[in-house]
Structure formats: C-alpha cells, structure tokens
Structure 1
Amino acid sequence: MKIGFTLPQAGNVAWQAPQAARYARELEQLGADSLWVIDRLLSPVNPTLGHNGGEDFPAEFRAVLDPFVLLAVAATATERVLIGSNVLNAPWYPPALLARALTSLDVLSGGRLAPGFGVGWSPDEFEAVNVPMSERGARLDETLDVLDQLWTADPAEYRGKHWTLPATRAALKPTRRPPIYLAAFAPASMRRVATRADGWLPALVPPRTTDIETAVTKPWALIRAMAEDAGRDPDELDVILRIYPSVRSGTAVTEVVELIKRVEAESEVRHVLVDLMYLADDVDQMLDLAAGVLSSAHP
C-alpha cells in the first residue's frame, strides 16, 4: 500500500509556511509515497452552505496557503514522491492559466504531478471568483478539453461555450501527460471519471464514515462498468483514497492504520492519502503523526 499525506497548508500550520520544504523532505525520507494540497478559497462568516453538511466551516479554513505555491515548494524539495492536488476546484480557473501552472509544476518535479480536480461545492467561493456555480460541470468538461489541447497539440486551439483558447504555439509540454484524477460521488461525475479521467479520488472521514463498501467498492465497480461500456479498459483507471481523520485522540494513528489495513484487505485501493491537518497544531506534530502511520503500516 502506498501512503501519502497532505502538505502543511491550512489552520495553525499555515503560519509555518517556511517549514513546508523541510516537511516535504523529511516525509520523503520517512518513506511517504505522495504529497498533496487542498483548494480552499474562503471561510465565510455566514456561509450559504456549510462544510460537509454542517452549518459552518472548520476553523482550519480561516488560514489557507495557495495550493500551487505549496506544490512548487514540494516539487523542488523532493526527488521521488508524487505531488498531487486533493482537489483543485477546476471551474474556478481559466484553463489556459491552469495549464500553465500545472505544466510548470510537472516540469519542476520531473514528471511527478498528479492533478486531482473537483467541481467545487461552496456557493460563496463561486461568487468570489465570479463563476456561475450552475455551470461548474460544463466548465470542468471544457477545462479537460483545453488541457488536452495544450498538453498534446502545437499549435493548440479550443472554442467552447464557456472557455476559448485562440490558436497558440504551445511548445512547452509536461514531462509526461499528467494523469488526471477526479473526485466524484454523483452519477454524472462518476461517468466523467469513467470516460475522461485517469483515476478516481473517493474519500473516507473516520470515525463518521468508514464503510468501505459503500464509499469505495460499489462506486468503483460502477465506474469500471461505465468505462467498459464507453469502450475503455477499466484496468487502466487508478484509484487513490483520501482519508480525513477528524477527531483528535491519542489513538488517532492506530485508527488510521487499522483503516488503511482494512482498505487493503477489502478493496482494490493500493494508494491512500491521509490529511493530518485536523489533528496537528504544528508541522513537527504533523511529521510525528505521519511517522507513526508509516512505521505502523509498513513495519
């Protein structure tokens, strides 16, 4: 089982940004397989929609570092680990700008970028970027089209309903075409994974959500069937599971490791990422928790 972790990006650790490079290096030395960023723009005072069905946003989101900057730090501080986004809210970004940033990150890392995209869910954040939330799915589809053009064609050109790319020279390409992962739970989103993506990003939130069959196994089987129906080889699709432990306790590491072992035994998942930012007050505590997970899961 490959195990990755989020970078120190949100909450108290955001104030320790100068420690991000050390964190990335030490985690790579400890044996981590991947490093990840989130994409959170606001912490609304009076949210139109609360986080994960709640009434508010977690306090950690009141201070959040930029995901692209952190990925650049991780890319230059490490040599082996995969670097990824968990997830970028793709409809917020003009795809030409997104392609430039992602291409730069892939070149900086020597071909280690795994961009994960989502459609976003916060009406307040869509208002802040002046993008209609009702268009988010269609904008993501067109973003994938533009990325494909800029990563494979020269000249590259695209004209859609929401995004336009005038014919342009596009000489700088990623080291290899970055595999695109999508977070998806609704049927339409899962079909997008099956027909357009390279992989899927399901999620578990222990202790609230630990049902592997419901959250991972059954949807993954559906995605694979959709891929086959679309003429794709389902074995070419990858899956990376996101684990968000949300309750601080002295047994948090043990609980995460037990869940990882269950995932390995009960599903086809062979790569997980663990978000430790809700459990730690500083970068060193995040490192200690990650070291505990790695040493217990890989004795």
Structure 2
Amino acid sequence: MQFGVSTFVTDDGINPAALGKALEERGFGSLYVAEHTHIPVKRESPWPGGDELPRHYYRTLDPFVTLAAAAAVTERLRVGTGIALVVQRDPIILAKEVASLDLMSGGRAVLGVGAGWNREEMRNHGTDPRTRMRLMRERVLAIKELWTAEQAEFHGEFVDFDPVYSYPKPVQDPHPPVMVGGAGPTTFDRVIDFGDGWMPIYGRGTDELPQKIAELRERAGRRVPVTMFAVPPEPKVVDELRDAGVDEILFGLPTEPEDATLRRLDALAELL
C-alpha cells in the first residue's frame, strides 16, 4: 500500500515547494491538491461536507502551478489533482498542462477528475450543471486523444476539433493515470468507460467498501487501482482500507502555516 496526502494549498498555508519537500523527506509517496477556481458570493449549491463552506475553499492556488512547484524540489513524489474540475477547464489546455507537468516531473503526474458540486461556480464557466457528466466524459476522452495521438481529433456533443498537433506528450506510457472521483450510483460506469482508477472520498459512499471494490474490478475485468481520499490518520482505518483492497491512502492534511504543517506531518509519518 502507498501513502500520500490530500489537501487544499492556499495563500495562507504552507508553500507548495516546502510541502512537497517535507512530504518526500518523511517518506510519503504522493501529494494531491484540490481545485476551486473561485467561489460565487451568492451560492445555493449545498456543500457535501456540511453547512458552512470552510475558508480554504475560497483561497486555493492553481493546482498545476502548485504541483509544478512541489515537483521541482522532489525526485520521487507523485503529484496529482484531487480533483481537477474538468467541466470548468478547456480540454486542449488541460491536456497540455498535465503533459507538461508529467514531462517536468519525469513521469509523476496523476489527473484526478470530477464534475464538481458547486453549480454556481460551473455556470460562471459556461457549463450547464445538467449536462456536466456528459461533458466531463468527452473532455477526458479528448484529453487522452491529445496525449496519445500524433494528429489528435475529437468529434462529440460538447468537444469538437479537427486534427491537431498537441505537445508535449506525457512521459508515462500510455499517459498519466486518470483517477475518477465520486461514489455515486453511476461512478463505476465512468471509471470503466474513461478512467484508469477510482478515487472516492473516505466516508462519502464508501460503506461496504470490500464488496464495492470487488464489484468494480469484476465489472472492469481488470484490477482497477483504488486511491482513498481524505483518510483520517487512524491505524484502525488504515488496516480496514488495506484489507478492503485499497492501493493508496491519502491522509487528509488541514491547511495550516508551515510550522504547524511540519509538526502534523511528523505525526502522520509515524503511521507509515
């Protein structure tokens, strides 16, 4: 089993370069960062985590700038999005960003994807919340085409472009893994259709986890990698997830200044 952290990197927390270096020094294998481009002042969409939206949601840095900074000062740390809001991003630009990160890091990029929950936020990007799942599918498929084809083209309902050259190509073969977030009734359909792995949030639809992982792998006909997001740092939870067949655990790391973060990482490292 592999261990990493998932967190919100913000302008009032630890610097991403310092965070990446500290993680690698303590033996962690990965860093996954969240994304919100902005938070609309007038918001009716309920936050899945509770009543009041935490401060760090308002202040996230750009995930790919963040991950590039962490990758630049590390040699082994895998750097990923948890999650990238694909329905709010141009797929041609996103393909280039992830491929550039993969090239710069020597093949350590991971693209975690999701459709998001904040309808007001996605509407500001011109996205209709009612069709966001279909939009996400097409954009991910288009990104994979851009990563792997010399002359990439895509013709769909939402994404449509004639043959193009798109460089750089990723270092990883055939491309960086695409981890699909969520744990809803149709999530496995998306993982099997266009994903390379499953990345649910701990405690949100992850009950009966051994049976669900077995079902996913049976339906896919392959051993689908599973990364568990926002895991509490409890030995019992780690043991349960290992027994369930989870491949990677991401401990939820609160957003704090550098000194407090380093102390927390020291404590987390004992679980490794």
Q: Is TM more than 0.5 here?
A: yes
Is residue 86–residue 136 contact of structure 2 (8 Å, CA) maintained in 1?
A: yes
Counterpart position of 1:227: 220
Counterpart position of 1:288: 263
In 1, Cα distance between equivalents of 2:256 and 2:228: 24
In 2, Cα distance between equivalents of 1:75 and 1:86: 16
Is residue 182–residue 201 contact of structure 2 (8 Å, CA) maintained in 1?
A: no
Is residue 46–residue 56 contact of structure 1 (8 Å, CA) maintained in 2?
A: no
In 1, Cα distance between equivalents of 2:158 and 2:216: 27
In 1, Cα distance between equivalents of 2:50 and 2:42: 12
Residue aligned with 1:241, SS: strand
Is residue 96–residue 165 contact of structure 1 (8 Å, CA) maintained in 2?
A: no
Q: Does 1:259 align with 2:237?
A: yes
Counterpart position of 1:78: 74
In 1, Cα distance between equivalents of 2:155 and 2:206: 41
In 1, Cα distance between equivalents of 2:29 and 2:202: 19
* Offset of residue 171 of structure 1: 4.7
Does the C-alpha gap of structure 1 residues 289 and 82 become closer, same or farther in structure 2, counting only changes over 3 Å?
Answer: same
**Which letter does structure 1 place at the counterpart of 2:248?**
H
Does the C-alpha gap of structure 1 residues 244 and 57 become closer, same or farther in structure 2, counting only changes over 3 Å?
Answer: farther
Gaps of 5+ in 2: none
Is residue 4–residue 251 contact of structure 2 (8 Å, CA) maintained in 1?
A: yes
* Offset of residue 50 of structure 1: 2.0
Counterpart position of 1:188: 186
Give the share of equivalent positions with the same residue, in percent.
Answer: 27
**Which letter does structure 2 place at the counterpart of 1:150?**
L
Counterpart position of 2:21: 25
Residue aligned with 1:35, SS: strand
- TM-score computed with the length of structure 2 as normaliser: 0.91
In 1, Cα distance between equivalents of 2:268 and 2:153: 46
Q: CA RMSD in A?
A: 2.0
Is residue 180–residue 197 contact of structure 1 (8 Å, CA) maintained in 2?
A: yes
Matches within 5 A, 1:117-266: 117-176=113-172, 177-205=175-203, 213-214=207-208, 216-228=209-221, 234-235=222-223, 237-245=224-232, 253=233, 256-264=234-242, 266=243
In 1, Cα distance between equivalents of 2:9 and 2:32: 10
Does the C-alpha gap of structure 1 residues 172 and 57 become closer, same or farther in structure 2, counting only changes over 3 Å?
Answer: same
Does the C-alpha gap of structure 1 residues 161 and 212 become closer, same or farther in structure 2, counting only changes over 3 Å?
Answer: closer
In 1, Cα distance between equivalents of 2:23 and 2:169: 29
* Offset of residue 212 of structure 1: 5.8
In 2, Cα distance between equivalents of 1:112 and 1:141: 23
- TM-score computed with the length of structure 1 as normaliser: 0.83
Does the C-alpha gap of structure 1 residues 6 and 44 become closer, same or farther in structure 2, counting only changes over 3 Å?
Answer: same
In 2, Cα distance between equivalents of 1:59 and 1:289: 19
* Offset of residue 194 of structure 1: 2.1
* Offset of residue 7 of structure 1: 5.1
Counterpart position of 1:2: 2
Gaps of 5+ in 1: 229-233, 246-252
1:137-169 deviations in Å (ceiling 9; x for gaps): 111111122112111111111121111223112
* Offset of residue 261 of structure 1: 2.6
**Which letter does structure 2 place at the counterpart of 1:122?**
N
In 2, Cα distance between equivalents of 1:204 and 1:7: 14
Q: Does 1:92 align with 2:88?
A: yes
* Offset of residue 116 of structure 1: 0.5
In 2, Cα distance between equivalents of 1:270 and 1:137: 26
**Which letter does structure 2 place at the counterpart of 1:15?**
D
**Which letter does structure 2 place at the counterpart of 1:288?**
R
Does the C-alpha gap of structure 1 residues 106 and 144 become closer, same or farther in structure 2, counting only changes over 3 Å?
Answer: same
* Offset of residue 2 of structure 1: 1.5
**Which letter does structure 1 place at the counterpart of 2:2?**
K
**Aligned residue pairs, count:** 270
